[in-house]
C-alpha cells in the first residue's frame, strides 16, 4: 500500500472551505478552541491585556442587543476567570485581504462599554507598527476604559511556533493540538496571509526617489512609511519563528511617546536622503540588526555594530573580529572606526588576506573603537511579496545575514581579574578570540 500521495487527516482541516465567511468562521473557532485547550498559548497572548491567569472559556456566534433593538454579532468572546476576578474580550476576525471596518470596530467598543467588557481584540492580516498601534484609530472618548488590541495572524502563528520551539507546552496532547493550529494557519487556504507589500504607492515612491523628485508632502508618503513600519514588525515575527525567540523593533523614546513624530521623521529621511532604516533587537545578539534601504541607489543593507576589544594591539583587535567571521561570505563589508571621523572599510575577502588593510592608514598602531559588519544586495523592484519583490529580497537578506554573520558574533567582555599569586604579565592578557601573537 503506497500512501505517499495521501493527505494526512487533520484536526482542523482546510479542505472544503467555501468563501470568506466560512474561512473566517473556521479560523475563529479553531483559534479560540485551541486557546481554551492550551493554557500556555492563551496566557502568552492575553497576559499583556490585563487578563488574570486562570480558566479560559471561549464562545463563537455571539450576539448583543442594545436598547434600540439593534443587534451586533462579533465573531467571538473570550472570558477568563480566577477566583473572584474575571476578564472578558470581544473578538472580531478578518481573513485574506479583508480589512477591518471603522464603524464595526467602534460599534463593538460601544457594546463592550455598555456590557462592562474589558477589551476588544481584532484579528486580521494587517500589521501594527509603533506609528499605528491599531489599524483603526478611535478617540479616547469612545474607548472609555475599553482596551482596543490588534493581533495579526502572523503574530498568532509566531507565538504558537515560539512556544513549540522552546517546548514550553509540556503536555504532549496539548502540544499536538497546538501543532495542528500551526499547520492550519500555515495553509494558504486558511486566509492567514503573510505581509503583502508596501502598498499602492510603492511604484510612485520608488520611482520618485530614483529621480530625485520625492518630497515629504507627496501624496501617500505617510501611508508608505507606515507600511514600512508594519514591514519591520513582520520581519521581527518572521525572524522570531526561525529563532524561537522574541524579536523587537527598536523605537526611540520620542517616537514611542509620539507616533506621529515617527511618521514625520521617516518621511523626512525618505524625502531628504532617500533612505528607510529600521533596527531589530534579537535577544543575546552581539548588537542590534540594522536594516537599511537606499531607494535612490536601489540597494538594501543589513548591518551590525559592535565594540572592539579594549585590550590588545590594533591588529589583535582586528583579528578578534576576523576569527568570528571565518564562516561568513567573502562579500561581507567590514568597517573599523577609530573615532574623530577616521575609519577603514574593506571586503572580508581582502581583510582575510591581509588584516592590516583595516588598520588606520595614518597611524597603524591606533586601536579601532568599533566595528561594523554589513551585507549589501540589489533591491527587489516588484511590489507584493513574490520572487524579485522588495519584500522578498529584504526578507532573504535579513535571514541570510543573521544566519551567516550575526548568530556567530560575540560581544567582547573584559577578562577575569588575575590572581595576585601569578607572575605579573608584561603584556595584555589574552581574551577569548584575541591572540598575543597578533602584533605589528
Assign residue 136 the CATH number of its domain: 3.40.1350
Tell me, yes or no, whether 349 lies in a domain: yes
| 231 and 159 inside one domain | no
* pTM of the model as a whole: 0.81
| Alpha carbon 218 to chain centroid, angstroms | 28
196 in any annotated domain = no
Domain boundary among 135, 169, 190: 190
Residue 421 lies in a domain: no
Decide if 435 is inside a domain: no
Residues 184 and 67 in one domain: yes
Residue 354, in any domain of the structure: yes
Whether residue 319 is contained in a domain is answered as yes
Position 131 scores a pLDDT of 66
| Same-domain pairing of 181 and 49 | yes
The parent domain of residue 81 ranges over: 19-190
Residues 350-392 pLDDT 10s: 999 999 999 999 999 999 999 999 999 999 999 887 889 999 9
pLDDT bucket at 425, cuts 50 / 70 / 90: low
Kindly report which listed range (150-164, 296-310, 418-432) carries the lowest average pLDDT score: 418-432
The mean of the pLDDT values for the chain is 90
Q: Is the pLDDT of residue 1 over 70?
A: no
Mean pLDDT of 424-438: 49
Own/partner pairs, 39-46, CB within 8 angstroms, 24+ separation? 40/163, 40/168, 40/169, 40/174, 41/159, 41/160, 41/163, 41/169, 41/178, 42/80, 44/159, 44/163, 45/151, 45/156, 45/159, 46/78, 46/80, 46/87, 46/89
Tell me if 232 sits within 8 A of 398, measured CB to CB. Answer: no
pLDDT in tens, 249-282: 999 989 888 888 999 999 999 999 999 999 999 9
Q: What's the domain count of the chain?
A: 2
Does a structural domain hold residue 8? Answer: no
Does residue 85 lie within any of the structural domains? yes
Cell numbers describing residue 45 = 497572548
Q: Is 38 helix (H, G, I), strand (E, B) or coil?
A: coil
Amino acid at each position: 500500500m503506497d500512501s505517499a500521495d495521501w493527505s494526512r487527516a487533520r484536526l482542523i482541516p482546510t479542505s472544503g472551505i467555501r468563501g470568506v465567511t466560512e474561512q473566517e468562521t473556521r479560523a475563529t473557532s479553531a483559534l479560540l478552541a485551541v486557546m481554551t485547550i492550551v493554557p500556555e498559548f492563551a496566557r502568552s497572548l492575553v497576559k499583556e491585556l490585563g487578563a488574570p491567569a486562570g480558566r479560559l472559556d471561549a464562545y463563537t456566534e455571539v450576539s448583543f442587543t442594545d436598547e434600540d433593538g439593534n443587534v451586533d454579532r462579533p465573531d467571538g468572546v473570550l472570558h477568563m476567570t480566577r477566583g473572584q476576578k474575571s476578564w472578558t474580550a470581544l473578538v472580531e476576525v478578518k481573513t485574506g485581504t479583508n480589512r477591518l471596518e471603522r464603524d464595526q470596530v467602534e460599534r463593538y467598543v460601544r457594546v463592550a462599554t455598555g456590557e462592562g467588557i474589558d477589551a476588544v481584540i481584532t484579528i486580521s492580516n494587517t500589521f501594527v507598527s509603533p506609528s499605528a498601534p491599531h489599524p483603526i484609530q478611535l478617540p479616547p472618548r469612545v474607548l472609555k476604559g475599553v482596551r482596543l488590541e490588534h493581533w495579526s495572524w502572523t503574530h498568532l502563528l509566531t507565538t504558537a511556533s515560539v512556544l513549540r520551539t522552546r517546548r514550553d507546552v509540556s503536555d504532549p496532547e496539548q502540544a499536538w493540538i497546538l501543532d495542528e493550529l500551526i499547520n492550519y494557519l500555515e495553509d494558504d487556504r486558511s486566509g492567514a496571509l503573510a505581509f503583502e507589500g508596501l502598498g499602492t504607492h510603492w511604484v510612485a515612491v520608488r520611482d520618485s526617489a530614483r529621480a530625485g523628485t520625492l518630497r515629504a508632502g507627496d501624496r501617500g508618503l505617510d501611508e508608505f512609511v507606515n507600511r514600512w513600519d508594519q514591514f519591520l514588525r513582520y520581519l521581527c515575527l518572521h525572524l522570531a519563528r526561525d529563532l524561537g525567540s522574541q524579536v523587537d523593533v527598536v523605537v526611540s523614546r520620542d517616537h514611542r511617546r509620539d507616533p506621529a513624530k515617527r511618521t514625520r521623521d521617516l518621511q523626512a529621511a525618505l524625502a531628504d536622503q532617500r533612505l528607510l532604516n529600521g533596527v531589530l533587537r534579537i535577544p543575546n545578539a552581539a548588537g542590534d540588526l540594522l536594516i537599511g534601504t537606499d531607494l535612490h541607489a536601489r540597494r538594501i543593507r543589513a548591518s551590525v555594530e559592535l565594540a572592539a576589544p579594549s585590550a590588545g594591539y590594533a591588529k589583535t583587535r582586528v583579528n578578534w573580529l576576523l576569527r568570528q567571521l571565518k564562516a561568513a561570505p567573502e562579500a561581507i563589508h567590514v568597517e573599523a572606526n577609530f573615532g574623530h571621523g577616521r575609519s577603514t572599510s574593506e571586503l572580508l575577502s581582502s581583510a582575510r588576506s591581509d588584516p592590516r588593510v583595516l588598520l588606520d592608514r595614518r597611524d597603524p598602531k591606533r586601536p579601532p573603537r568599533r566595528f561594523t559588519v554589513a551585507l549589501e544586495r540589489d533591491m527587489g523592484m516588484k511590489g507584493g511579496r513574490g520572487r524579485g519583490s522588495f519584500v522578498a529580497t529584504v526578507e532573504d537578506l535579513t535571514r541570510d545575514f543573521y544566519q551567516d554573520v550575526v548568530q556567530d558574533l560575540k560581544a567582547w567582555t573584559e577578562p577575569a581579574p588575575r590572581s595576585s599569586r601569578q607572575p605579573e604579565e608584561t603584556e595584555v592578557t589574552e581574551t577569548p578570540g584575541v591572540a598575543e601573537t597578533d602584533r605589528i
